Amino acid sequence: MTVKEIIEKLDLKCLNEANLDAEIKGAYSSDLLSDVMGNARSGQMWITMQTHKNVTAIAALKDIPAVIIVRGNQPDEDMLAHAKEEDICILVSNEPTFIVCGKLYELIK
Amino acid sequence: MHYTFTIEQGNFTDAGQASSSVKRTLKQLGVDPANIKRTVVALFEAEINAVAHAYGGTIDVDIDDGKIVMVVADQGPGIPNIDLAMQEGWSTASAKVREMGYGAGMGLPNIKKNTDDLKIDTKIGVGTTLTMTVNLV
Ligand SMILES: Nc1ncnc2c1ncn2[C@@H]1O[C@H](COP(=O)(O)OP(=O)(O)OP(=O)(O)O)[C@@H](O)[C@H]1O
Ligand SMILES: [Mg+2]
């Protein structure tokens, strides 16, 4: 399923349009950055409540095409600017991690 | 090829710039993606540790046909017990650092897993130097 389809199905707000046609086959959910660094795989989506610039730094290094921020949290300005530079799709869900993960799992399992 | 970067104390905003620049270079050199991934995971973790646990420092990266050698040297408090620090889950990260999502105690284990050789030289009150090698052949 593509990022674009996931945005529609999960009713996500898109703050930086990038990688919309990327095919998503998996995701990783964690708010611990070294956990993501060690265990997320390239091409996966990342679901988190972290909103600072190190999120996009890690996404860029790990080739993570899209990040979903949960519970309606907004990315810091410099994170969003960095996402634009690095072409990382930034999405916001109003729902909490559990619900976002459950719905996404149903879509791409 | 030799590259040098500086790490500023407490500057999380710019952390990752060295790793990102090294990643670009390795891509241009045609290094295979698996080795690029290992290299940037290790370098980023070392960079963050120098920001979070020490007072900044320097990064030296040497790339040749056979290997990538990264030396991250900080002026910091040093590591009192390296065995403990290498254990997954052990962390002395401050509340501020934990709030950012660091402090899982996974950084050094990530470095160990992603490199072919890791050497830690540390002196209390002076600083810590990590020498990390990724073999390309
Ligand atoms: N450069 C350093 N200077 C001083 N102490 C360090 C340094 N690097 C690591 N340490 C010590 O070793 C511990 C473990 O480091 P490690 O990177 O594994 O975990 P962390 O940084 O605490 O958390 P995480 O990396 O998961 O965000 C740190 O909490 C700190 O006590
Ligand atoms: Mg660390």
- For residue A53, the model assigns a pLDDT of 97
CA-to-CA separations, A106 to A1, A47, A82, B94, in angstroms, rounded: 11, 15, 31, 38
Confidence of residue B69 (pLDDT cuts 50, 70, 90): very high
- Mean pLDDT for all residues in chain A: 98
Q: Is the pLDDT of residue B137 over 90?
A: no
Nearest-Cα distance to chain A for B34, in Å, is: 10
- For residue B22, the model assigns a pLDDT of 96
Which of B15, B37, B113 minimises the CB distance to A54?
A: B15
* Cβ pair B20:A31 closer than 8 A: no
In chain B, which among 51-90 make CB contacts under 8 A with chain A? Answer: none
- The residue in chain A having the minimum alpha-carbon distance to the alpha carbon of residue B12 is A54
- Beta bridge partner(s), residue B62: B2, B69
Task: Assign 3-class secondary structure to B106-125.
Answer: CHHHHHHHHCCEEEEEEECC
Helices A53-62 and A77-86: crossing angle in degrees, nearest 10, is: 20
Q: What is the pLDDT of residues B39-62, one digit of tens each?
A: 999 999 999 999 999 999 999 999
* CATH code of the domain occupying A3-108: 3.40.1390.20
Confidence of residue A85 (pLDDT cuts 50, 70, 90): very high
Confidence of residue A103 (pLDDT cuts 50, 70, 90): very high
Q: What is the pLDDT of residues B84-135, one digit of tens each?
A: 999 999 999 999 999 999 999 999 999 999 999 999 999 999 999 999 999 9
**Coil vs helix vs strand at B36:** helix
Nearest-Cα distance to chain A for B114, in Å, is: 9
Q: Where are the domains of chain A?
A: 3-108
d(CA B66, CA B69): 10
Q: In the numeric block, which tokens belong to residue A98?
A: 């559990």
Helix (H) or strand (E) holding A69: strand A66-69
Nearest-atom index, ligand 1, CA of A35: 26
Nearest-Cα distance to chain A for B49, in Å, is: 11
- For residue A28, the model assigns a pLDDT of 98
| pLDDT average, residue stretch A62-66 | 98
Residues lining ligand 1, Cβ inside 6 A: A 34; B 45, 49-50, 52-54, 74, 76-77, 79, 85, 90-93, 102-109, 128
- With beta carbons less than 8 A apart as the criterion, state whether B13 and A78 touch: yes
- For residue B105, the model assigns a pLDDT of 98
Claim: this prediction has a pTM higher than 0.95: yes
Looking at this predicted complex, what is its ipTM?
Answer: 0.94
Q: Which domains does chain B have, with CATH numbers?
A: 2-135 (3.30.565.10)
| pLDDT average, residue stretch A32-54 | 98
